[in-house]
């Protein structure tokens, strides 16, 4: 009775605001609202850097950069209406709030840099239509999370095995896109996603060109998924001549019961890159490989280990010409349904002194951190 009353109240309120016939429109809106789902995700954490920097920062860690601090990383609320069959129309909106993640992924307008105080972001907002083409072509128009990479931003329906993200996630790929996305499933073994978008993390394009993205998903055998991804397009402001390309291979397999292995392989390049610190406005390249192993001992306990190497030989991605690597160990405890606790230890290293130590900036080649992450989802 309470749910019916709330639904009717929302519908009537909307019709009054819209100034249309109340009874007819209220019935139509009530029919739509009943199919809308609400989901949520809240992630909090404490992080500590053993380098004890006066800057109180964890270097090269945009999502959990605050040292010796409790953080509300992100709180997310999702509203969506499913569209799965031909002719269906749906939508999804992900609204997020927090003190680290939103400002790190927030999309920008041309010529306007995101503010460090931007604690709210619309992570995704798109309308979906399933066109009557073959098995059904799902078309999304709006803003959505990138297909690139093996790791995700995290939300109620997807999170990573490790609390901290990989260097490849932070520095080799975009976070979100605004544009048109099409998804077509040929059969149970082959699916294709294609996109035409404004570019990397742009809500409005910064030049007259468009960026293209393709994602081929293959399931060659049971418990094994192979993804081949490409993104290409001009990303420099008011310049459509210089192209940025990223090639990405992701492999997920379960060779034995309870054991999962993920592989993330990335190669990127950009023509006449102004961010090339070795030779400005010449071509730059970056590459890396990451492997993640997960052993789920039970429904309540798992252990996750990640190791990666990232080469930024031109300094175009991190601002320093360097080779980096890291190892992360993340035990995982499901305390109760929908409540997960993850302690974590991480060791980062570089062939250059890039990590803060005490009162000195960029004075150490290594950085060791620990964290405790707690998240709840529904």
Do 208 and 238 belong together in one domain? yes
Report how far residue 170's alpha carbon sits from residue 222's, in angstroms, rounded to the nearest whole number. 31
pLDDT on residue 167 = 98
Do 92 and 210 lie in a common domain?
yes
14 and 149 share a domain?
no
201 shares a domain with 113? yes
Same-domain check for residues 199 and 213: yes
| Residue 157 to residue 145: CA distance in whole angstroms | 13
Q: What pLDDT score was predicted for residue 7?
A: 46
CATH number at residue 164: 2.40.160.10
Alpha helix (H) ranges present in the chain?
A: 2-18, 22-33, 101-105, 167-171
- Residue 144 shares a structural domain with residue 28: no
Query: Could you tell me if 310 and 329 lie in one domain?
Result: yes
Check whether residue 27 and residue 97 sit in a common domain: no
Q: What is the pLDDT of residue 117?
A: 64
pLDDT one digit per residue (tens) for the chain, 378 residues: 444 433 444 444 444 334 444 454 666 667 767 789 999 999 999 999 999 999 999 999 999 999 999 999 999 999 999 998 999 999 999 999 999 999 899 887 776 665 656 789 999 999 999 999 999 999 999 999 999 999 999 999 999 999 999 999 999 999 999 999 999 999 999 999 999 999 999 999 999 999 999 999 999 998 999 999 999 999 999 999 999 999 999 999 999 999 999 999 999 999 999 999 999 999 999 999 999 999 999 999 999 999 999 999 999 999 999 999 999 999 999 998 899 999 999 999 999 999 999 999 999 999 999 999 999 999
| Residue closest to 193 by CA, chosen among 179, 206, 207, 174 | 179
- Structure tokens belonging to residue 75: 């709180």
pLDDT at res. 116: 58
Domain co-membership, 3 together with 131:
no
**pTM of the entire predicted model:** 0.89
Number of structural domains in the chain: 2
Q: What is the pLDDT of residue 26?
A: 67
Residues 164 and 104 in one domain: yes
Residue 102 and residue 137 in one domain: yes
Q: Does residue 74 share a domain with residue 54? A: yes
Q: What is the pLDDT of residue 33?
A: 78
**For residue range 230-284, what is the model confidence (pLDDT) as tens digits?**
999 999 999 999 999 999 999 999 999 999 999 999 999 999 999 999 999 999 9
Q: Which domain holds residue 304?
A: 37-377
Residue 341: predicted pLDDT:
98
Which two three-digit tokens encode residue 214?
Answer: 């393709």
Spatial CA neighbour of 346 closest among 332, 365, 366: 366
Distance CA 234, CA 242 (A): 6
């Amino acid at each position: 009775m309470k749910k019916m009353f709330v639904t009717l109240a929302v519908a009537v309120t909307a019709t009054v605001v819209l100034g249309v016939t109340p009874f007819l429109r209220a019935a139509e809106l009530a029919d739509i609202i009943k199919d809308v789902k609400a989901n949520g995700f809240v992630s909090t954490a404490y992080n500590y850097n053993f380098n004890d920097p006066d800057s109180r920062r964890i270097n090269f860690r945009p999502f959990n950069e605050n040292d010796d601090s409790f953080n509300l990383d992100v709180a997310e609320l999702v509203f969506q209406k499913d569209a799965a069959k031909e002719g269906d129309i749906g939508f999804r909106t992900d609204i997020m709030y927090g003190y680290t993640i939103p400002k790190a992924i927030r999309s920008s307008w041309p010529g306007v840099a995101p503010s460090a105080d931007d604690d709210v972001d619309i992570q995704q907002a798109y309308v979906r239509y399933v066109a009557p083409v073959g098995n059904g072509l799902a078309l999304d128009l709006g803003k959505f999370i990138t297909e690139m990479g093996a790791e995700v931003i995290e939300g109620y329906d997807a999170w990573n095995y490790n609390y901290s993200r990989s260097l490849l996630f932070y520095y080799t790929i975009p976070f979100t896109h605004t544009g048109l996305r099409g998804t077509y499933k040929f059969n149970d073994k082959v699916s294709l996603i294609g996109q035409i978008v404004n570019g990397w993390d742009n809500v409005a394009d910064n030049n007259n060109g468009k960026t293209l993205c393709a994602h081929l998903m293959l399931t060659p055998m049971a418990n094994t998924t192979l993804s081949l991804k490409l993104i290409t397009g001009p990303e420099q402001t008011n310049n459509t001549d210089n192209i940025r390309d990223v090639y990405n291979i992701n492999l997920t397999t379960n060779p034995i019961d309870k054991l999962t292995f993920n592989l993330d392989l990335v190669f990127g390049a950009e023509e006449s890159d102004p961010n090339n610190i070795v030779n400005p406005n010449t071509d730059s390249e970056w590459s890396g490989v990451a492997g993640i192993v997960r052993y789920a001992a039970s429904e309540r306990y798992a252990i996750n280990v990640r190791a990666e190497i990232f080469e930024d030989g031109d300094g175009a991605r991190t601002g320093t010409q360097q080779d980096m690597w890291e190892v992360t160990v993340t035990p995982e405890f499901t305390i109760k349904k929908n409540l997960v606790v993850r302690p974590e230890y991480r060791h980062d290293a570089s062939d250059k002194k890039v990590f803060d130590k005490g009162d000195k900036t960029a004075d150490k080649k290594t950085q060791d951190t620990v964290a405790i992450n707690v998240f709840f989802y529904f």
